[in-house]
Structure 1
Amino acid sequence: MNFSDWMPDLSHPWTRFALTVVVALAVAGLLRRAVDMVLRRFALRHPRGASIIARAKAPMDVIVPLAMLLLAFRGAPDEPARLIDGMEHVIAVLLIGACTWFLVRCIGALEATVSRFNPIDLEDNLRARRVQTQVRVLSRTGMVVVIVLGLGVALMTFPVVRQFGASLLASAGLAGLAVGLAAKPVLGNLIAGIQIALTQPIRIDDVVIVEGEWGRIEEITSTYVVVAIWDERRMIVPLQYFIENPFQNWTRTSSQILGSVMLWFDYGIPLDPLRDELQRICKDANEWDGRVIVLQVVDASDKAMQLRALVSSSNSGKSFDLRCKVREGLIAFVRREFPEYLPRLRGELESELRAVDAASPPFASKLANVRR
């Protein structure tokens, strides 16, 4: 038996096609290994890109063989055309899906890399919060756009869908208007997300007052914002809310904040000892940042005067704790040193008691008990 008897008949189109598929897969394997070697060297020289390369590895393992198979199917025999066309269509759809997966993974890896190199668990984290907000909002928006485009491209490969889309465009008019109105909330939030990423009225970990609730911006997605309320509740707010409605942002330019404590005391209380005690309380408190400490009389009524203690802290959480310490400390100091100047109702009854005492002793004795 000759060696030529074992050789396949290369003149047959299906034999050449099978050989082309095998060669395409072999080339895909070699090409993937070469790309892996190049990317590993790149990751060693650029550690920040290692995360992106690691996340893109799985999609690349699928994209390269599918791309080579698609090229191989271009040289497939014409018969049977339906089978070949169907397999080629499936490979093309899978390739579109793999490319979409690849882009989404790269965007997510880029977001994770930027977040890792810009941590927000620092005292002065304004720049890190600004960068994280921009990257997170833009990455989520980019993912949505990539997925929608990938799905649209995949659907357009089906002749029925392509003809349906052409007929819709031909008779657009009212249908286009209806689709536009239906998509208005989605598009509005998408545009609002881009506005927030660029102008940054809010950032990750910002302290905000929304609908009367105090909380921190915990997450910003492509359609809504998660606000972590102080009592561990979560408020879900659409992105458009922060573009169309007023709200308070306590950390817009800095996390430093002033806290005030309002107290009512009698007019006769001396203020210098209170100021000394306020100084002592703040200096002993770790929450005070050493910038501001003021005690002033800000209001007065016919019964007492109102004092305001103004103290500063590095962030709103510490400010709340410091205000509680100042309030407790000043009240305890006044109760201990000047109890007679605590707010109370007083009246001059001496002359009235004497007049009533002579006229009606029983009634006078009741008033005397009230006086005591």
Structure 2
Amino acid sequence: MSYPQRFSDLFRLTGLLLIGLNLLCTPAFAASDNSLRTDAASIQPQHTYNESDATINQQNFKSQLAKLRGSSEVTGEYHQSYYLLNQLNTGLPSLNPPPNLSTPLATLEFFKLATDNQHYKLAAQALNMNLFNPDIQRARGDELAERLDFLLAKKDLYDFNQLPDRPDGLIEPSIGSNSDIDGSVRRSIQLGHIKYLSYRIPIYIERVKVEGADPVWVFSSQTVGHIDKLYEQYKPATFERYLPDFLLFRPLNIAIWEYIALSLFFLLTIALGWAISKGAGKLMSKYAQDENKRATLSLKSTTDLINKLIVPLTITISLALVFTLVSGGFPYLDDIATDTRPIIWVALVISAIWLGVRLINFFADRYQDLQIDGLGQQQYDEYRIRITYLSVFRRVFIFVMIIGSVWIGLSEFVNIEGLGKTLLTSAGILSIVIGIAAQPTLGNIVAGIQIAITQPIRIGDTIMYDGNWSTVEDLGYTYATIKTWDERRLFVPMRYFVTETVENWSHPDPHQTRTIYLLTDYGIAVDEVRKKFVEVVKNNSYWDGQTEPTLQVLSTKRDTLQLYGTIAADNPDDAWLLECQVREQMVTYLSDKQQHYLPAERIVLINKDADS
């Protein structure tokens, strides 16, 4: 089959489907559609299905369409300026003359004027109540209008200045305006949104048209359907009628009594958290003071734990209880709960991070006390390995905890799944930005983790850095602290130890051999000097006791011999001290016992008169 023929068949099939849908949505079927409306509690009608009954099949099909459209009687036909409806508020009484709902501004003014005069049945004319059964629309109309008025006033959504006074909802574009909606015909306008639990429910007015009538602007059927659950969250408390007027004053749209209630609850939770923390501290102190249990939990470590955790634990418990309150635990603080919930959530995340850092540091210090500081000099190499792991992974755990806490904190405000997709979509641009801006910092952090795993250097190692005898004091996130022999501190980026050649005298074995050079005259008795050298080395306490010291003639020059001696010690520090002491004793020996054979300039005098 050729491509033109395939496209022709596809076009004909699409046309047949559209014709079928159009037939189902025509007024011929509107009369049978009255049975499909439902109230707000149940929008799906019940039908008896019979495959042989084509009419019922069509009704089932229309039932599904009604469910998908929100049972708002939308015909399915599209018009740029309004929504086409089969009917509108058939359960409400008709008014003659009808109310002025021709523009968005006129509708909101009509609704506000009617509710201010407590004519709620009249205000119901501005609601699209197609989600409710016509039999109950008259009974529910005034109640829904009163509740919607309460919500709009409470959330300050009566903003008449932002609504156009044109039937097409068009906003005249101002000079230099870049707004997408300026100069565009609109058939729905969002007045704002009202927060319900953790969701934002938009409040819309929309332009609708029923066949044979003029288009009107009304509150959308979806907005009307949300009124009851929004009112249940924000309805005034019964006891408010007994409060004095000054407590009902609403600065920042929040009543003063709500500020007071939340403050008192916060103080109560602080006291409760403090009591829990102190109680746990006393129990742990009592446990530590038991002589039979001091081997497992020292009083010092318990006191340190209590001192470190009591403040962050108290605040975390308090904020957790307050967050539970503003998340729906107390129904009469909805306004302040909605407005302060994000702030309390951020404070809770920060306090949890604070508590987590304190816990990590405590257990890291406890591990150091029990497993590291008790190691003797013979286990110095194991000491350096453990202290390096502890230093680096302490920081890694804290870093990972902070990143995870920030990620959890963001979940309260953004869609994490959507954020992840956005990050993956923009991975190319993000990688360039990170590569340019954060490469040094991230490179040093990654290098720190690599050093912790491979350990080319460790805390306590003796290294040569820039010609200086140095000791590694600490390994941080992005830099290492180096202490030179003259007690200067150098802060070296971690990447240096991964990308550059490092002379480490302590890794993998701290045992070290050093050399001593002596310059003597040709007449020196090398064997006697060698015996004295071996004797001096073996009598020194820094000698390793195993490696035999040696002394050899390394080279000769015109006037001197160069003697080369080797010595060994258990670690670089002992080797350096051994070298200095042996050199000093050998120079003293040569000066006292071999003075005539120290390097000297020889001058030969020739008496020419005696020769003649």
TM-score (normalised: structure 1): 0.78
Indicate the residue corresponding to 1:6 in structure 2: none
One of 76, 86, 94 as aligned partner of 2:339: 86
More helix by proportion, 1 or 2?
1
Query: How do residues 22-101 of structure 1 correspond to structure 2 at under 5 angstroms?
Result: 25=269, 32=277, 35-36=280-281, 39-40=284-285, 45=293, 46-47=296-297, 50=302, 51-52=304-305, 54-73=307-326, 74-77=328-331, 81=335, 83-101=336-354
Cα deviation, residue 308, structure 1: 1.6
> What's the offset of the Cα at 1:297?
1.7
Preserved CA contact (<8 Å) 1:97 1:154? no
> What is the CA-CA distance between 1:283 and the residue it aligns to?
4.5
Contact 1:24–1:68 under 8 Å retained in 2: no
Q: Given the alignment of the two structures, is residue 325 of structure 1 paired with residue 581 of structure 2, yes or no?
A: yes
Separation (CA, whole Å) in 2 of partners of 1:357 and 1:76: 126
Q: CA deviation at 1:147?
A: 2.8
The answer to whether the aligner puts 1:311 opposite 2:567 as a matched pair is yes
Stretch of structure 1 that moved more, 244-253 or 32-41: 32-41
Query: Residue 295 of structure 1 corresponds to which residue in structure 2?
Result: 551
* Structure 2 residue matching 1:310: 3-state secondary structure: strand
Alignment deviations for residues 197-255 of structure 1 (CA, whole Å, 9 cap, x no partner): 11111111100012222100011111100110111212211111111111111111333
What is the correspondence of 1:147-162 to structure 2 with a 5 Å cutoff? 147-154=402-409, 157-158=412-413
User: How does 1:229-308 map onto structure 2 within 5 Å?
Assistant: 229-292=484-547, 293-308=549-564
Q: Distance between the aligned counterparts of 1:23 and 1:109, measured in 2?
A: 28
Report the Cα offset of residue 41 of structure 1: 6.6
| Distance in 2 between residues matched to 1:243 and 1:201, nearest whole Å | 8
The counterpart of 1:199, out of the listed 454, 460, 483, is 454
CA displacement, residues 312-365 of structure 1 (integer Å, 9 cap, x when unaligned): 223323322322222222222122222221122336665xx448964xxxxxxx
User: How many equivalent residue pairs?
Assistant: 344
> For residues 138-153 of structure 1, what are the structure 2 equivalents within 5 Å?
138-153=393-408
Query: What is residue 199 of structure 2 aligned with on the other side?
Result: none
Measured after TM superposition, the shift of residue 105 of structure 1 is: 0.9
Asked if structure 1 preserves the Cα contact closer than 8 Å seen for 2:375 and 2:383, the reply is no
**Worse-matched range after superposition: 131-140 or 101-110:** 101-110
SS of the residue 1:47 aligns to: coil
Q: Tell me the secondary structure at the aligned position of residue 599 of structure 2.
A: coil
Alignment of 1:8-27 (within 5 A): 12=239, 21=265, 25=269
Partner of 2:224: none
Gaps of 5+ in 2: 1-236, 244-257
How large is the RMSD of aligned CA atoms in angstroms? 3.7
Once residues 321 and 275 of structure 1 are traced to their aligned partners in structure 2, the CA distance between those partners, rounded to angstroms, is: 20
1:288–1:322 contact (8 Å) kept in structure 2: yes
Change (3 A) 1:214 1:170: closer
Residue identity matched to 1:127: E
Query: 1:294: how far off?
Result: 1.9
**Aligned equivalents of 1:326 and 1:128: distance in 2?**
29
- In the alignment, the residues of structure 1 paired with residue 524 and residue 322 of structure 2 have an alpha-carbon distance, to the nearest angstrom, of 90
Q: Give the whole-Å Cα distance in 2 for the aligned partners of 1:141 and 1:355.
A: 89
* 1:170–1:302 distance in 2 versus 1, CA, 3 Å: closer
1:189–1:52 distance in 2 versus 1, CA, 3 Å: farther
Contact 1:59 1:101 in 2 (8 A): yes
| C-alpha contact (below 8 Å) 1:13/1:77 kept by paired residues | no
Deviation at 1:185, TM superposition (A): 1.8
Q: Give the whole-Å Cα distance in 2 for the aligned partners of 1:252 and 1:264.
A: 32
Change (3 A) 1:112 1:157: same
SS at match of 1:290: coil
- Residues 116 and 31 of structure 1: CA distance in aligned 2, closer, same or farther (over 3 Å): closer
Distance 1:144 1:107 in 2: 11
Q: Tell me the amino acid that sits aligned with residue 434 of structure 2.
A: G
**Contact residue 137 and residue 220 of structure 1 kept, 8 A:** yes
Counterpart of 1:102 in structure 2 is 355
Give how far 1:131 is off.
Answer: 0.4
The secondary structure found in structure 2 opposite 1:286 is coil
Cα distance in 1 between the residues matched to 2:272 and 2:582:
74
| Partner in structure 2 of residue 180 of structure 1 | 434
Preserved CA contact (<8 Å) 2:552 2:565 = yes
Residues 1:266 and 1:166: Cα distance change in structure 2 (over 3 Å): closer
Per-residue CA distance 1:36-95 (angstroms, 9 max, x = gap): 4665577664327745565333322222222222223322336653x2212322222221
Is the CA contact 2:511–2:570 (under 8 Å) kept in the aligned structure 1? yes
The alpha carbon displacement at 1:33 in A equals 5.9
- 285-294 or 233-242, which deviates more: 285-294
Distance change >3 Å, CA 348–CA 230, structure 1 → 2? same
Indicate the larger mover: 90-99 or 306-315. 306-315
Which segment is superposed worse, 31-40 or 232-241? 31-40
Q: Which AA in structure 1 matches 2:598?
A: L
Task: Report the identity percentage.
Answer: 26
Moved more, 61-70 or 28-37: 28-37
Give distance in 2, aligned partners of 1:204 and 1:148: 26
* TM-score, normalisation: structure 2: 0.50
> Which of the residues 219, 226, 251 maps onto 2:474?
219
**In structure 2, do the counterparts of structure 1 residues 107 and 268 end up closer, same or farther at CA, with 3 Å as the change threshold?**
same
**Distance of aligned partners of 1:356 and 1:169 in 2 relative to their CA distance in 1, 3 Å threshold:** farther
Preserved CA contact (<8 Å) 1:120 1:129: no
Structure 1 pair 12–23 and aligned structure 2 pair: CA distance change class (3 A): farther
Q: Is the 8 A contact 1:138 1:193 kept in 2?
A: no
SS of corresponding position for 1:134: helix
Paired position in structure 1 for 2:601: 345
Q: Counterparts of 1:324 and 1:22 in 2: how far apart (Å)?
A: 68
d(CA) in 2 for partners of 1:164, 1:98: 27
Matched, 1:135 2:390: yes
